[in-house]
Amino acid sequence: MIESFSGIRGIYGKELTNDIALRYAYAFRKLCRPAKAVIGSDTRASGEKLRTALIDGLGCDIIDTGVLPAAAVQNAVREYKADGGIIITASHNEPEYNGFKFLDKDGAVLRPKDMENLINFSRKIGALSSEELLSQLGESKPVKRIEKKGKDALKRYRKFIESFFSRKEKSLLKSLKADFIVDPNGGAGITAKDILEGLGIKARYINMKKGEFRREIEPGKSLKFPAAKKKAQFVAGFDCDADRLEIMLNDSKLASGNHILALITEDVLAGIKNPEKETVIVNDATSYVVRETAGKYSAGWKEVEVGEINVVDAMMDFNSPVGGEGSNGGVILPPSRCRDGILTLICLLKIMAKKQQSLKELINSLPKYHYIKEKTALKKDFAEIREKVKQYYLDSGFLIEETGDETGGLKAIKDNSWVWFRQSKTEKNVLRIIADSKKEKTAASLLSQGKKLVS
């Protein structure tokens, strides 16, 4: 089972059980003391059983949103003035996995220190038998009320998304004549149809049956165009909780999350009176294409450790108008406190309508960078070889930048090109390596050398 500030994830029935869900909910209850909490989920079959265990452990008033995107559940925490919440999801992990994202009272995921305390407390009570834990639960205040708010929460989320667009922009969206496909893959992103149609946006939809997964959960290269006489401009795919958006263009090339973040960053900064006074916040695995785009407007630039909450908190500190994680297609726009795949898609459509250009044309107008990423299996923790890797690059004349602690990002930079390492906190024994450069050969060389160092 993976336990990190990104949440809890494991294979349901093996690493992750209903008993573990009960303990984590009880730990959340004892540490955060919610009087009212929101619970929502993606579409995995194990979600309902975990929901029952979590509600038993929380022992407070419950707002149950049912199946909704992560961003909609997080919005519900704010809308219903709850004290926090839990999203039952393993996000981009495959269907046999499930997990939890614990939410703070502002709808954001718990801050790293609070999540660390939650994990430690859950481990502490792990020695208790189920009977002993249930006995302790019985001594606390029982659940007062469970309110089913799925339809209302979706309605509020739709209204929240619509608030990002002016009347003129909504008119542009209605008039957009772009043939594109939305593929939620049976995940929580099936709600995108309701939201897009509410804005008058026309699209084709595939894989809309709830809980029926026809491709990999993490979209990427598993996105496919359906057989048709006319090929659409692109396919937009979501992961299971729809916090990530990935797009495949009609030449079968993937639109990088960095391109998506760069386009939306430019649109936001172009609409601000004094963009030079603003700061764009990204994770340290984001391509410099976003930095160069922000630089056109003399905007500030700050990198933080990978993790949605790290970007969110830095955006709050800097009062940033836009931020995100280019490495995973996640754009964050205040007052939202999370990545939102559906909102990101609509923002792209707005830019297409405004500029009267296809998505491919918009991407081609961006500065050219070659961004390559791979996952490699680890035989031992990256922390054990981190210093060796770091010293190699220092000896080779690279500048070293690090975020977080010894488990955070390690980036080696030279001549506006870089290679980056970080052990995944959502996938077991996986090291992520990314290279970024204006020169394709340089990016490929950096990635190859990085893989050799850790093999």
CA separation for the pair 421, 438 (Å, rounded): 19
Report the DSSP beta bridge partners of residue 279: 300
State how far Cα 102 lies from the chain centre. Answer: 14
CA separation for the pair 333, 322 (Å, rounded): 5
Instruction: Give the angle 336-340-346 at the CA atoms, nearest 5°.
Output: 105
Report the DSSP beta bridge partners of residue 402: 410
Contact 376, 454 (CB under 8 A): yes
Q: CB neighbours (10 Å) of residue 449?
A: 16
Q: CB neighbours (10 Å) of residue 334?
A: 14
Of 6, 41, 46, 91, the catalytic one is: 91
Question: Residues 6 or more apart from 204 whose CB is under 8 A from it?
Answer: 179, 180, 181, 182, 232
Q: CB neighbours (10 Å) of residue 55?
A: 20
140 catalytic? Reply is no
Of 172, 156, 222, nearest in space to 348 by CA: 172
The token pair at 43 is: 């579409």
| Cis peptide preceding 142, ω within 30 of 0 | no
Helix (H), strand (E) at residue 386:
helix 386-395
CA separation for the pair 452, 407 (Å, rounded): 20
What are the contacts of 144-152 at 24+ separation with CB within 8 A? 144/60, 144/61, 145/61, 145/62, 146/55, 146/61, 146/62, 146/64, 147/61, 147/62, 147/63, 147/64, 148/64, 148/66, 149/63, 149/64, 149/65, 149/76, 149/80, 150/64, 150/65, 150/66, 150/67, 150/68
State how far Cα 363 lies from the chain centre. Answer: 21
Burial (CB < 10 A; 0-12, 13-18, 19+), residue 254, is: middle
Q: Which residues are catalytic?
A: 91
